[in-house]
Amino acid sequence: MSDTNVVLKKRGLSDLAIKRLFILPTLVLLISIFVVFPLFWSLGMSFMDYSAVRPQVKGVNPKWIGNQNYKDVLLDPHIWKYFSLTLRFVIMAVAGEFLIGFGVALLLNRDFKAKGLITTLILLPMMMSMAVVGFFWKLLYNPGWGIINYILGLGEFVWLANPKMTLISITITDIWMWSPFTMLLALAGLSAIPKHLYEAAEIDRASWWFKFRRITLPLVSPLLLIALIFRTMEAFKMFDIAYVMTGGGPGTTTELIAINLYRLAFAQWNTGKASAFGYIVLIMIIAISNIYIKYLNKVKEM
Amino acid sequence: MKKARKILIFVVLPAILLVASMMLFIAGDGEEEAEMAKGPITIFWAEWDPANYLQELCNIFTDETGIVANVETTPWSDFQVKAFNEFAAHSDAYDIVVGDSQWLGRGATQGHYIELTDWIKERGVDKSMAPATIVAYAEYPKGSGRYWAVPVEGDACGWSYRKDKFEDPKEKAAFKKKYGYELDIPDTWYQLRDIAEFFYRPEENFYGVAIYTQKDYDAITMGIENVLWAWGADLGDYDTYKVKGILNSRAGIESLEFYKELYKFCPPDWVNAFFPENNMAMTEGIASMSMNYYAFFPALANPEMSKYADVTGYFAMPEGPAARVAALGGQGASIITYSKKQGAAFEWLEWFVKPENQSKWGDLGGYTCDLKTLKSEKFLNMTPYNRSFMETMQMVKDFWAVPEYAELLESCQRYWSGYVVADQFTAKEAMDGIAEEWEVIFEKYGYYD
Amino acid sequence: MPTVSQTSRRGRVAHWIIIIIVLVIMLIYLIPIYWVVTTSFKPFKAVTAIPPKVLFRPEITSYVKLFTKRSIVRSEEELVEKRASAKWYERRVLQQGQTITGMSPFPNRLFNSFISAIVSTIAAVALGTFTAYGFSRFKVKGEGDLLFLILSTRMLPPVVVTIPLFLMYRFLGLTDTRFGLILLYTLMNVSFVTWVMKGFIDEIPKEYEEAAMVDGYTRFEAFRKIVLPQAVTGIAATSVFCFIFAWNEYAFALIMTTRRAQTAPPFIPSQFGVGVVDWGMIAAGASIFLIPVAVFTFLLRKHLLRGVTFGAIRK
């Protein structure tokens, strides 16, 4: 027996083996099931005229049509309208979740009795099923028997039927559901800031604003960014709440891209075009989150 | 060696346990499957009352034949997606599907449904069921004499109204003074409009009318069809697939403008309304009239569900300037090509079309299409709305049943909802837009070749 | 000039004002949930009363309906006959002219939800932690790309993967099996776990393990005895998120399962009553469904707060 063998035996599995044992299962599973097959299948189909419900006939269904699907999607003026709608939603929702979540976290960042309980209670909205949340907010928004108008004394104010208010109504629901998530992350970041930094600033008689800008903000920003990444990604894909509450209506005032994509893929069964559309969305999400991640790495290095 | 054992304990064993337990779940599922040599068959339908009635009928079937038949349901909003997803995968999860009439084209041409032409003719089902329902729920292409389904639930749009308000002498006098004729069940769409306007009283939280406005699936289209046909326009030429000049004709545009006028008299928030909302308008007593499918009327007549059950009346579609038509709903039962229990499925169908069982179906609350049952006094008097249902079924018309119907729907739902509730287009723009897009769709799928 | 006691008093007043603001905010967050829970106890007709009813006599009819299959009583005689022998829960639905014919699929769906959420959470957290450790401690070729690939599985619009996945599952015989659903949820979550746990493990100094290995620990022992205990907080927080995701997942459950393995989320909003939406039943389902996940989160709340830093904060 050679020396190296003894060492290896003594140390159990080699690092290489551990590395493989640890990483490969995930990669193999992910790559084989989630990436290779569906992604490549969709990629292939995005260049075909194909409908998954029609019988497969070679050369007819699917039929190679080159980049026609991509052209169709990118040249469709409706779809650009849906994109700008979605962008509006993402900006409003993520900004709202950011401001409210961070604000509440700042308030909660102190010691008091039952803090854990109160924090958990505020987290309740994000633990609910999105479909159920959408469904129930319909009840809350109802001009007649809805509790919102009742509490706010708005009388018969119309939320969901009002083309100008629908997107905002959905945004409010989304903020209600997901600002606790930003709150949680911000709170975690805030409570991790070493107390002595504040004490030092206190001695210098630094203003509240100075402390916030120079100590609080830089130290929580990595976590806030992570919250933003996740929320932006999810808001971009927003489906359940909007679909349940308005079905994309009235007219096209809430036709978010995920809803339109769903219609294309399932109501119309235009699998090829839906795949192409899906890829365009994917590329956009990747681009956006890449920007975030680059920025995050910069912030972390600071 | 000790280390190796530890690794064994901490990595390999849990992994094996995990996999084994998962295998157990699969095995458990498999055993269930092995037991069902003949049946149980699974019938797929949407989640609503008639599906519960059908389950009760199936229980009788099980008692008589020993074959278990389960009715499986999913919410309306997912019904189409779920069904066609299973078809796309050639799945044997369902043996029979009670599918929408628009699905016939897809089911027939894409090979999901088994052809029933000979089966239906041998048993004379095409004679025993109401002719309009055979065409609507079973035949594809229309006029070809080829059948793909057995009508199960006949259905169409009708109206419910508040009898107490309509019969109130004070209201009657005020109405006569304002409009110059008696307040009664409207004979024409224009009268219906007047009544809606008359009862539109936001300050009393009472509104004129409840109509379909939802953008999802086919909701607003089902509502607009009623006026479109009544005004003499059409969705297009069902033989040549020509749309321009027919849909966006003067009559078509006028009928659409009329629908939007009705929308003004709806309760607030009436933007996402389909059958549950329109029923709620009556059960909560916030509208004087409400459009809905007959299949949803039982709730309105049920005092446990509706505060106004005793004072709710029903009437069939009013007359338009050109015709009197009602938009068709309803479903037929088709046997799925991929079913592994087709024998049992056919047995169920055989049993279902027998006159005595059709009569039981009617008793349970199903809208049978069987002529004898439909015309029986017992059926007509069973509910306050069955008589107007019978009347309605003589004047029904349906949407396109071509395999591409969903693309057609996407286009018209977008434009109509955009015009009626969101003011995104004018009536002419909406109609022109639909005609244009529909012809492109027909062109693309070779209907003009 | 303010004395020390004055500032501290002022501080205390400010503290209490903030606490009160916090309580008000909490109430605002809770009103919709309160409304869901109370709706589940409302009599059918009270749900849509105008103006909204805040006070009412609670009843549990909605819960009875949620757990049972019912049919309509069609004649007076039948009603009288049924009423004579009715048990307490049967009497509840008899009031609405219905009789109980059996159990609803809800308990079964709930059980499926438990199994899928628990098993997939354990599997995803275990796999993801291993992978994260691997990425954190060893040089892996193309690490950045692989990590991004892992994360990108979560960026995909679900619609894009649903059709091919469904076809593949059908081919493998995995549709409508709990195993299939568990596998799916595990995969959806493992990317999240890997990404988050890598941040945590990066923060745990390598030197600890190296010292332990010099003392004769194997790499695996070092991982188990040194790294894992320090990562417990992160693991707990990550588990909460995985559990919430798997517990509430809707689209895949709807498409990939039909009856044997279907979880509760597609079931709850489908509870239509007789031609109108039965809000009470949906509310009952939603309330029951919220309890386990709320309890789970409450138990792990301490870890959640500390563990949710995702390793992004240097200690």
Percentage of the residues of chain C whose pLDDT score is greater than 70: 93
- B287-293 and B157-162 as β-strands: parallel, antiparallel, unpaired? antiparallel
Q: What confidence tier does C6 reach under pLDDT thresholds 50, 70, 90?
A: low
**Residue numbers of chain A with a pLDDT score lower than 70:** 1-13, 30-35, 300-302
Write down the H helix ranges in B231-318. Answer: 250-263, 275-283, 298-301
Only one residue has tokens 């169920």, namely B348
Closest CB from C123, C272, C274 relative to B298: C274
Residues C95 and C116 grouped into a single domain: no
- Would the CB atoms of A249 and B214 count as touching at under 8 Å? yes
- CA dist C103 → B234, C66, C108 (Å): 48, 9, 10
Say what the pLDDT of residue B35 is: 40
Residue of chain C whose alpha carbon sits nearest to that of A231: C155
- B150-153 and B331-335 as β-strands: parallel, antiparallel, unpaired? antiparallel
Torsion of CA C213, C190, A273, B239, to 10 degrees: 160
Q: What confidence tier does B444 reach under pLDDT thresholds 50, 70, 90?
A: confident
User: pLDDT (tens digit, 9 = 90+) per residue, B115-162?
Assistant: 999 999 999 998 999 888 899 899 998 888 999 999 999 999 999 999
- Å from A140 to nearest chain C CA? 7
- CA dist B257 → A296, B195, B197, B233, B247 (Å): 54, 17, 15, 13, 13
- Would the CB atoms of B112 and A21 count as touching at under 8 Å? no
What's the mean pLDDT in B414-426?
A: 91
Residue of chain C whose alpha carbon sits nearest to that of A288: C155
User: pLDDT (tens digit, 9 = 90+) per residue, B360-372?
Assistant: 999 888 999 998 8
Residues C97 and C245 grouped into a single domain: no
What's the mean pLDDT in C195-213?
A: 84
- Å from C86 to nearest chain A CA? 33
Residues C68 and C146 grouped into a single domain: no
> Which of 1.10.3430.10, 3.40.50.300, 3.40.50.2000, 3.40.190.10 would CATH assign to domain B41-155+329-397?
3.40.190.10
Percentage of the residues of chain A whose pLDDT score is greater than 70: 93
ipTM over 0.90: no
Helix or strand run (H / E) with residue A68: helix A68-75
Token pair of A208 as six digits: 């509240």
- Would the CB atoms of C179 and B365 count as touching at under 8 Å? no
Least confident range from B138-142, C293-297, C302-306: namely C302-306
Residue of chain C whose alpha carbon sits nearest to that of A275: C160
Rounded distance between C-alpha atoms, residue A207 and residue A189, angstroms = 21
Token pair of C41 as six digits: 């106890």
Residues C183 and C302 grouped into a single domain: yes
Token pair of B237 as six digits: 């030429």
Burial of B64: CB neighbours in 10 Å, binned 0-12, 13-18, 19+: exposed
Residues of B in contact with A162 (CB under 8 A): 271
Per-residue pLDDT at B7 exceeds 60: no
**Is residue B143 left, alpha or beta, with left meaning phi > 0 and alpha meaning psi from -120 to 50?**
left
Rounded distance between C-alpha atoms, residue B127 and residue A229, angstroms = 64
CATH placement of domain A68-301: 1.10.3720.10
- Would the CB atoms of C35 and A21 count as touching at under 8 Å? no
In a mutational test of the B interface, the residue from C50, C262, C274, C281 whose CB has the highest number of chain B CBs within 10 Å is C274
Query: Number of structural domains, chain C?
Result: 3
Q: What confidence tier does C46 reach under pLDDT thresholds 50, 70, 90?
A: confident
Rounded distance between C-alpha atoms, residue C64 and residue C66, angstroms = 5
Residues C146 and C271 grouped into a single domain: yes
Q: Which contacts (CB < 8 Å, 24+ apart) does range C100-105 have?
A: C100/C64, C100/C68, C100/C69, C100/C70, C101/C68, C101/C69, C101/C70, C101/C71, C102/C68, C102/C69, C103/C67, C103/C68, C103/C69, C104/C66, C104/C67, C104/C68, C104/C69, C105/C259, C105/C262, C105/C267
Residues of B in contact with C272 (CB under 8 A): 47-48, 75, 276
- Å from A282 to nearest chain C CA? 6
- Å from C7 to nearest chain B CA? 53
Rounded distance between C-alpha atoms, residue C77 and residue C270, angstroms = 32
How far is it between the farthest Cα atoms of chain C?
Answer: 87
Task: Break chain A into its structural domains and give their ranges.
Answer: 3-64, 68-301
Residues of A in contact with C307 (CB under 8 A): 188
Residues C222 and C95 grouped into a single domain: no
- Would the CB atoms of C152 and A286 count as touching at under 8 Å? yes
Residue of chain C whose alpha carbon sits nearest to that of A132: C269
Task: Break chain B into its structural domains and give their ranges.
Answer: 41-155+329-397, 157-327+404-444
CB A89 within 8 A of CB A256: yes
What's the mean pLDDT in B264-271?
A: 88
CB A59 within 8 A of CB A48: no
Token pair of B60 as six digits: 């009788």
- Would the CB atoms of C279 and A139 count as touching at under 8 Å? yes
For the beta carbon of residue A65, count every other beta carbon within 10 angstroms.
Answer: 15
What's the mean pLDDT in C257-283?
A: 78
Rounded distance between C-alpha atoms, residue B44 and residue B56, angstroms = 14
Say what the pLDDT of residue A11 is: 52
Q: Is A152 part of the contact surface with chain C (CB cutoff 8 Å)? A: no
Q: In residues, how long is chain B?
A: 449
| Range of the structural domain that residue C195 is part of | 107-307
Query: Which 3 state secondary structure label does DSSP give B422?
Result: coil
Print burial letters for B301-332: b (CB count within 10 Å at least 16), e (below 16): bbebbbebbebbbbbbbbbbeeebbbbbbbbb
Q: What confidence tier does C79 reach under pLDDT thresholds 50, 70, 90?
A: confident
Residues C244 and C217 grouped into a single domain: yes
Has residue C315 been placed in a domain?
A: no
Residues 6+ apart with CB under 8 A from C147: C135, C194, C195, C198
Residues of C in contact with A34 (CB under 8 A): 153, 161, 187
Residues C24 and C162 grouped into a single domain: no
Residue type, C198: K
CB C138 within 8 A of CB A13: no
Q: What confidence tier does B29 reach under pLDDT thresholds 50, 70, 90?
A: very low
Whether residue B403 has a cis bond before it, omega within 30° of 0: no
Has residue C49 been placed in a domain?
A: no
Residues of A in contact with B202 (CB under 8 A): 156
Residues 6+ apart with CB under 8 A from B67: B38, B39, B40, B41, B61, B344, B347, B348
Contacting B residues, span 288-307, partner chain C, CB-CB under 8 Å:
295-300, 302, 304-305, 307
Token pair of A100 as six digits: 């409210």
Count H helices, E strands: chain B?
22, 11
Residues C68 and C195 grouped into a single domain: no
- CA dist B238 → B242, B312, B399, B444, C58 (Å): 8, 37, 10, 17, 55
Only one residue has tokens 């999105």, namely A130
Closest CB from C170, C221, C277 relative to B91: C170
- Helices A271-301 and A68-75: crossing angle, nearest 10°? 70
What's the mean pLDDT in C18-39?
A: 93
What is the C-alpha R_g of chain B?
25
Residues of B in contact with C254 (CB under 8 A): 74, 78, 82
Residues of A in contact with C165 (CB under 8 A): 37-38
Has residue C168 been placed in a domain?
A: yes
Say what the pLDDT of residue C70 is: 79
Residues of A in contact with B414 (CB under 8 A): 78, 251-252, 255
Whether residue C2 has a cis bond before it, omega within 30° of 0: no
Indicate the residue among C53, C83, C104 that finishes a domain: C104
- A48-49 and A63-64 as β-strands: parallel, antiparallel, unpaired? antiparallel
- CA dist B446 → A64, A218, B130, B245, B438 (Å): 18, 62, 33, 20, 12
Closest CB from C22, C155, C304 relative to A118: C22
Residues of C in contact with B50 (CB under 8 A): none
Say what the pLDDT of residue B257 is: 96
Residue of chain B whose alpha carbon sits nearest to that of C178: B25
Burial of C229: CB neighbours in 10 Å, binned 0-12, 13-18, 19+: exposed
Contacting A residues, span 69-98, partner chain C, CB-CB under 8 Å:
none
Edge-first strand order for the sheet with B96-100 is B69-74, B41-46, B96-100, B331-335, B150-153
Per-residue pLDDT at B204 exceeds 60: yes
Has residue C240 been placed in a domain?
A: yes
The strand pairing partners of B336, in sequence order, are: B113
User: pLDDT (tens digit, 9 = 90+) per residue, C109-151?
Assistant: 999 999 999 999 999 999 889 888 888 888 877 777 777 777 7
Residue A81, CB half-sphere, CA atoms under 13 Å: how many?
12
Return the higher-pLDDT residue of A300 and C104. C104
Rounded distance between C-alpha atoms, residue B393 and residue B395, angstroms = 6
- Would the CB atoms of C275 and B48 count as touching at under 8 Å? yes
Q: What confidence tier does B304 reach under pLDDT thresholds 50, 70, 90?
A: confident
CB A189 within 8 A of CB C310: no
Closest CB from B6, B14, B89 relative to C170: B89
- Would the CB atoms of A107 and C297 count as touching at under 8 Å? no
Whether residue C292 has a cis bond before it, omega within 30° of 0: no
What's the mean pLDDT in B341-355?
A: 94
Residues of B in contact with C223 (CB under 8 A): none
Residues C268 and C141 grouped into a single domain: yes
Print burial letters for C17-33: b (CB count within 10 Å at least 16), e (below 16): ebbeebeebbeebeebb
- Would the CB atoms of A249 and B215 count as touching at under 8 Å? yes
Q: Is B368 part of the contact surface with chain C (CB cutoff 8 Å)? A: no
Write down the H helix ranges in B317-424. Answer: 342-353, 355-364, 371-375, 377-382, 386-392, 405-420
CB B153 within 8 A of CB B366: yes
Token pair of B275 as six digits: 């059958």
- Would the CB atoms of A163 and B406 count as touching at under 8 Å? no
Percentage of the residues of chain C whose pLDDT score is greater than 90: 23
User: pLDDT (tens digit, 9 = 90+) per residue, A19-60?
Assistant: 777 777 777 776 666 667 788 888 899 999 988 888 888 788
Has residue C56 been placed in a domain?
A: no
User: Dihedrals φ, ψ of C194, to 5°?
Assistant: -55, -50
Q: Is A55 part of the contact surface with chain C (CB cutoff 8 Å)? A: no
Query: Which 3 state secondary structure label does DSSP give C101?
Result: strand
**Is residue B248 left, alpha or beta, with left meaning phi > 0 and alpha meaning psi from -120 to 50?**
alpha
Q: What confidence tier does B33 reach under pLDDT thresholds 50, 70, 90?
A: very low
Residues C235 and C99 grouped into a single domain: no
Q: In residues, how long is chain A?
A: 302
Q: What confidence tier does C290 reach under pLDDT thresholds 50, 70, 90?
A: very high
Burial of A31: CB neighbours in 10 Å, binned 0-12, 13-18, 19+: middle
Say what the pLDDT of residue C217 is: 85
Instruction: Tell me the DSSP string of C38-68.
Output: HHHTS-GGGTT-SSPPSS-----HHHHHHHE
Residue of chain C whose alpha carbon sits nearest to that of B204: C50
Q: Is C177 part of the contact surface with chain B (CB cutoff 8 Å)? A: yes
CA-based angle B180:B182:B186, to the nearest 5? 110
Token pair of B381 as six digits: 């008097």
Highest mean pLDDT: which of A152-161, B164-173, C211-220? B164-173
For the beta carbon of residue A209, count every other beta carbon within 10 angstroms.
Answer: 8
What's the mean pLDDT in B285-289?
A: 93
Residues 6+ apart with CB under 8 A from B117: B145, B146, B147
CATH architecture of B157-327+404-444: 3-Layer(aba) Sandwich (3.40)
Least Cα distance to C188 among B120, A29, B399, B345 occurs for A29
Residues C145 and C275 grouped into a single domain: yes
Q: Which contacts (CB < 8 Å, 24+ apart) does range B29-35 have?
A: B29/C176, B29/C177, B29/C178, B29/C260, B29/C261, B32/C260
Residues of B in contact with C126 (CB under 8 A): 14
Say what the pLDDT of residue B342 is: 92
CB C66 within 8 A of CB C284: yes
In a mutational test of the B interface, the residue from C59, C190, C258 whose CB has the highest number of chain B CBs within 10 Å is C258
